[in-house]
Structure 1
Amino acid sequence: MPKGYHHLTYDQRCQIYILKARGDTSSSIANILKVHHSTISRELKRNKGQRGYRHQQAQEKAFLRKNSQPNKKMTPQIVTRIEEKIKLQWSPIQISGWLKRHGKEHVSHETIYNHIWKDKRQGGQLYRELRHRGKKYNKQRKGASGRGNMPGRIDIKQRPCIVEKKTRLGDWELDTVIGAGHKGVIVSMVERTSKLTKLAKVSHKTAEEVSQALIEQLKPIKDFVHTLTADNGKEFAYHQMVSFELEADFYFATPYHSWERGLNEHTNGLVRQYFPKTQSFLDTTSKDIERVETLLNNRPRKALNFETPLEVFTRLSTNMLCSGAQ
């Protein structure tokens, strides 16, 4: 077991929230996350709120604590030296390497980037000297989300064979539809057997907003949610939280194999009939989304022997409830 304190990521805090909610002890959580038990104990003590431990609140408290502490290495002399090099269009990596090579106080390039963006927030112009002046540096961490490299990712190959047969109710495909200019996002959910579609608008294509939309839309019918299958976009990074809240298994398609979620791709095409690629979603209202969802769910489908998705979903869900099967 690793010794000493370990800085936790947001994904790990999501796991702690889930495991704590199901009754796991601090020691068992530490074993699962492969960190020292003191890390979990300290996390639960320092970052809980009045309503107990919640992952989002814990992340915010940890962030504020970290960023409220001044970096001792960033002395006035070092700051002056760094800013001189920035104005010569040196990159933070070049500055960090130069300081180390010449025996100066070593400052990581991440710290230099943080200094630049803090200066920008305060109205400074240092960021204009960067090669990618408007684009914030994104540090790549070990184990970070990426296509095919989602933390806790379960591949579609492990999905039960019954999902392919489309003989039961409760297997959903997930995706997002992006507004023109990346202004607004529609989260789309479609049930494989009945073709029932659920739509929700979110402001940004973030894991937090997308996961909340999935939970809000599907939790009222979670008795009819067995599996969820998505692509490998980072907006599905909080899949473990969604899986926990809906009590369903979450799977990821093979990267760039869109045909593995063919129904979702087809449904997105139907959505585009009402929201073309040239349209921004900034002025799209919840009523607009509900109208399109209603139209799609009440349209007869040849694949359903010309029943509507709503008719099929209602019939199958009623049969399940009457038979006591789920």
Structure 2
Amino acid sequence: MWARWRAGESLEHIAQLFNRNHSSVEGILAQTGGIQPAPRQRSRLALTLAEREEISRGLVAGDSIQSIARQLSRSPSTICREIKRNRGAKGYRASHADQLAWERAQRPKVCKLVRHRALAHIVAGKLQLQWSPQQIARWLKRAWPRDEDHHVSHETIYRSLFIQVRGALKKELLGHLRRTRAMRCSRHHTQKTDDHGRIRDTISISERPATVEDRAVPGHWEGDLLCGSSGSQIATLVERQTRYVMLVKLTSKDGETVVNALIKRASKLPHELYRSLTWDRGTEMAGHKRFTIATDIAVYFCDPKHPWQRGSNENTNGLLRQYFPKGIDLWVYSQAKLNAVARRLNERPRKTLNYETPAERFQQTIASTG
């Protein structure tokens, strides 16, 4: 069951294999938040089932505790404690004693976030700011490099959220994760498969200079539209080297409005920080030539149905869904509100930036170009 769950199979399919209802399988998985418990092992010092059977046979034969201990090469006190601890109403039974010992041996380690409530409070605060557990873990190491009490792994944070019996973090904090699921499950890759139409006179991404591809030079951006209900949209722009995000309010979804908004946004940055723009094949950029003439910024287009060629932008759009869930009206957001969301995202540390923030890297770029 756990192997198939890790492989990403559905609850319905797993349940069918065991001739069970999917709710039965879900109940088992939910007990540990979809995280498979670590395999248990007996201590090498613990009595084995075979030794307990020898104790049982010795007691039936009337042997003394000292005699049984000599036969097993064990201390008499060990045999005495074993009998007193596991003797049932019908006397000592090896299988019953072994099961009782196995059940008593369950000692889940106390979670660090339970032992250090101040640390749990810090983690909870960062989760409410939509920081990922990995970002929190690495930020803690940067903020308190020599204080182990303020260090916690991202896996511990995830497990404290998904396994609520730990009591370390409130279940409500799950709603602040990028993917607000109740149980951990396998990653599923999704991508756009719809046909965005054809645009004339496009420059393929294959013609983009190598300096853009290796992120060696700043000022190269990736862009796309984030869609909401009723055809509402906002434009998202991500700088490839620093992952700095800009959000652009749109008043309509037609191509002319989109290009005009992008031209206006481009005028706010010096040319050294806005050299090129990579977009998908959406018809909203049919006026790309007018954009290039007005801004002197080259526009490159991804291959059809290849969104990963704008990986930074695709990833950022996923992060933005924490602030703009699917199905909401994006027309109602002012540019000031969009700027506030972009600022929040730019102040989150990123693994790809060695846990610096996009804002820090972008400011460094401005200073170096100035």
TM-score by length of 2: 0.46
Alignment correspondent of 2:230:
181
Alignment of 1:306-325 (within 5 A): 306-321=355-370
Select the residue among 294, 305, 316 that pairs with 1:256. 305
Distance 1:222 1:235 in 2: 24
Query: How far did 1:316 drift?
Result: 1.5
Query: How far did 1:283 drift?
Result: 2.4
Change (3 A) 1:290 1:172: same
Letter in 2 for 1:162: T
Please give the secondary structure, in 2, of the residue aligned with 1:149.
Answer: coil
Alignment of 1:48-197 (within 5 A): 147=196, 149-182=198-231, 184-197=232-245
CA contact (8 A) 1:175 1:264 kept: yes
Alignment correspondent of 1:291:
340
Please give the secondary structure, in 2, of the residue aligned with 1:270.
Answer: helix
1:237 paired to 2:286: yes
Query: How far did 1:188 drift?
Result: 0.4
CA contact (8 A) 1:148 1:255 kept: no
Letter in 1 for 2:230: G
Distance 2:317 2:306 in 1: 16
Select the residue among 250, 254, 273 that pairs with 1:206. 254
Change (3 A) 1:148 1:203: closer
Letter in 1 for 2:306: H
Distance 2:289 2:363 in 1: 28
CA contact (8 A) 1:148 1:254 kept: no
Alignment correspondent of 1:271:
320
Which digits, 9 at most, give the CA deviation of each residue in 1:55-78, with x for residues without a partner?
A: xxxxxxxxxxxxxxxxxxxxxxxx
Change (3 A) 1:202 1:148: closer
Distance 1:260 1:179 in 2: 23
Distance 1:248 1:217 in 2: 12
Distance 1:282 1:155 in 2: 31
Distance 1:185 1:320 in 2: 33
Which digits, 9 at most, give the CA deviation of each residue in 1:225-257, with x for residues without a partner?
A: 111100011100111111122211111000100
Distance 2:196 2:350 in 1: 33
Alignment correspondent of 1:85:
none
1:219 paired to 2:267: yes
Distance 1:314 1:287 in 2: 20
Distance 1:212 1:298 in 2: 28
Please give the secondary structure, in 2, of the residue aligned with 1:175.
Answer: strand
The count of residues paired between Structure 1 and Structure 2 equals 175
RMSD over aligned Cα atoms: 1.5
Letter in 1 for 2:331: L
Letter in 1 for 2:269: I
Structure 2 gaps, min length 5: 1-194
CA contact (8 A) 1:225 1:246 kept: no
Please give the secondary structure, in 1, of the residue aligned with 2:269.
Answer: helix
Change (3 A) 1:241 1:222: farther
Alignment of 1:26-41 (within 5 A): none
> Based on CA coordinates, which of the two structures has the bigger radius of gyration?
2
CA contact (8 A) 2:250 2:331 kept: no
Distance 1:317 1:243 in 2: 23
Letter in 2 for 1:212: N
Distance 1:240 1:299 in 2: 35
Distance 2:325 2:226 in 1: 10
Please give the secondary structure, in 2, of the residue aligned with 1:250.
Answer: strand
Query: How far did 1:299 drift?
Result: 1.2
Which digits, 9 at most, give the CA deviation of each residue in 1:114-143, with x for residues without a partner?
A: xxxxxxxxxxxxxxxxxxxxxxxxxxxxxx
Distance 2:305 2:334 in 1: 31
Query: How far did 1:164 drift?
Result: 1.1
Distance 1:268 1:226 in 2: 22
Distance 1:294 1:236 in 2: 26
Query: How far did 1:317 drift?
Result: 2.3
Please give the secondary structure, in 2, of the residue aligned with 1:275.
Answer: coil
Letter in 1 for 2:243: K
Query: How far did 1:148 drift?
Result: 6.8
Query: How far did 1:176 drift?
Result: 0.2
Alignment correspondent of 2:330:
281
Please give the secondary structure, in 1, of the residue aligned with 2:268.
Answer: helix
Alignment correspondent of 2:37:
none
Structure 1 gaps, min length 5: 1-145, 322-326
Percent of pairs identical after alignment?
37
